[in-house]
Structure 1
Amino acid sequence: MPTLPTTHTRWLVAAALATLAMLVASGWRPYDRLTWLMEVLPVIIVLPLLALTHRRYPLTPLLYGGIFVHAAVLMLGGAYTYARVPLGFELQELLGLARNPYDKIGHFMQGFVPALAAREVLLRGQFVRGRRMLAFLVVCVVLAISATYELIEWAAALALGQGADEFLGTQGDPWDTQSDMFFALIGAVAALLALSRLHDRQLRALGVA
């Protein structure tokens, strides 16, 4: 059974505690409580799963790190709502954009981190042979996740009506759904191009690839 080195386990515990602290801070006085809950729900679900499986099915440090950053992005968006995150306003002014682009950071991460997760599962389970097919399937998984998330947003809009505006964060953009999926695609491709070799080394270090 693969195991993480003791130093990695310590960092993992520290990251988990930091994530819990950020979760509490983000939910202390969020802009909109329902929006916060919907945005951070993935963190609330995934964090206990990682704690329960870290001994039996430890992930690579790279993937754990990606999940930590992604969680931070989600919690910041939940605290302010994506259209009101201060970092997004700074980027909007710097780049001369017509809207706060922080939600695109979120969707980039929605492609970047799930790409690493899908790649890790496919390699460890030996579900696919050939690097080209691996990359193709990873991108397919990411786009499926992105499309599912957009369906969830659609369902929220139908169920909540105007109350879902903060969760949707379209800011009047009629092509928001398509651009969200495009940024997830960019994130997936970026992860594959930039981190595949490092990911392979860490998988070998775990003794699973």
Structure 2
Amino acid sequence: EVPFFDNLFGSERNNYDKVGHFFQGFVPALLAREILLRKKVVNGRGWLITFVISVCLAFSAFYELIEWWVAVLSGENAEAFLGTQGYVWDTQSDMGLALFGAICSLLVLSRVHDKQLKNVKDYL
């Protein structure tokens, strides 16, 4: 219940959690990209992008599964824990925002990341 996010852009729900789900894709994209490049796991930019986005979506899906398991175990308090606020597409929009965050991360930071990796001695 973060006041700034109440009725933001005409929404009837508080969308503070959506910011977190965006960064749930944005940050892991950097980590996955770094590991895949340093370990030379994939060849080609297309495969790199595919695997980075796949890792981010897998991370987001696993988080959603954890939320579901906790909701099942908590019983009556599931709605309060999940914070869906009556939005039936909450899980899908959470994962969509993680996807959007991963894509934004790749678009905005890939060049900077490549330049930084050139300065690392153990990366060829």
Question: Do they fold alike, i.e. is TM over 0.5?
Answer: yes
The structural deviation recorded for 1:104 is: 0.9
Sequence identity (%):
56
Match of 1:119 in 2: 33
Distance 2:108 2:64 in 1: 26
Distance 1:193 1:130 in 2: 16
Q: 1:184 aligns with which of 92, 98, 103?
A: 98
Question: TM-score by structure 2 length?
Answer: 0.92
Pairwise CA RMSD: 1.3
The structural deviation recorded for 1:164 is: 3.7
Q: How does 1:94-133 map to 2 (within 5 A)?
A: 95-133=9-47
Deviations 1:126-150 (A, max 9, x none): 1111011000010111111111011
Match of 1:86 in 2: 3
Distance 1:126 1:167 in 2: 40
**Structure 1 residue matching 2:56: 3-state secondary structure:** helix
Q: How does 1:5-154 map to 2 (within 5 A)?
A: 84-89=1-6, 92-93=7-8, 95-154=9-68
Task: Verify: 1:174 aligned to 2:88, yes or no.
Answer: yes
Gaps of 5+ in 1: 1-83
**Structure 2 residue matching 1:154: 3-state secondary structure:** helix
The structural deviation recorded for 1:177 is: 0.6
**Structure 2 residue matching 1:128: 3-state secondary structure:** coil
Distance 2:43 2:11 in 1: 43
**Structure 1 residue matching 2:119: 3-state secondary structure:** helix
Deviations 1:34-68 (A, max 9, x none): xxxxxxxxxxxxxxxxxxxxxxxxxxxxxxxxxxx
The number of residue pairs the alignment matches comes to 123
Gaps of 5+ in 2: none
**Structure 1 residue matching 2:11: 3-state secondary structure:** coil
Distance 1:140 1:97 in 2: 29
The structural deviation recorded for 1:163 is: 2.8
1:106 partner letter = G
